[in-house]
Amino acid sequence: MEEPNVPEEETEQNLESKNLEYRVEISNTLEKQLRCVSLKNHLSDCHLEECVDGAILADHTSSPAHFGGRSCVVPVLANVYRSAEHSDVLKCMCGRIVIAFSKLQV
């Protein structure tokens, strides 16, 4: 009786040769999801894909905790300005801007 073909177990090297990426979801941080190209990557070598709600995804390396040149920042203050002829900013306008700003990814 012939033995059935059992597929070779996928090794890390086999998986990497197929250009697979790994998604890492983190809890209790501003960073929500990272994309890594290898299981051997340090998290700092991964690419930041998504921040938690209320945080903004920013492209820069000046942050001490950045992932692939990106980091998550939480705005402390947002100043809303209109042109000089409309000096009064309506509260409902500020509310809409805050909602849009919290969903913004730069």
Per-residue pLDDT reduced to its tens digit, 10-61: 555 555 555 678 888 989 988 899 998 887 778 778 889 999 888 888 887 6
Per-residue pLDDT reduced to its tens digit, 71-97: 888 877 767 666 666 556 566 666 777
- What mean pLDDT is reported for the chain? 72
Q: Would you state the structure tokens that stand for residue 27, as one six-digit string?
A: 């809890």
Q: Would you state the structure tokens that stand for residue 63, as one six-digit string?
A: 């942050």
pTM (two decimals): 0.54
Gyration radius from the chain CA atoms:
22
Region of 32 (left: φ > 0; alpha: ψ -120 to 50; beta: rest) is alpha
Q: Is 89 helix (H, G, I), strand (E, B) or coil?
A: coil
Per-residue pLDDT reduced to its tens digit, 48-62: 999 988 888 888 766
Domain edges within the chain? 12-103
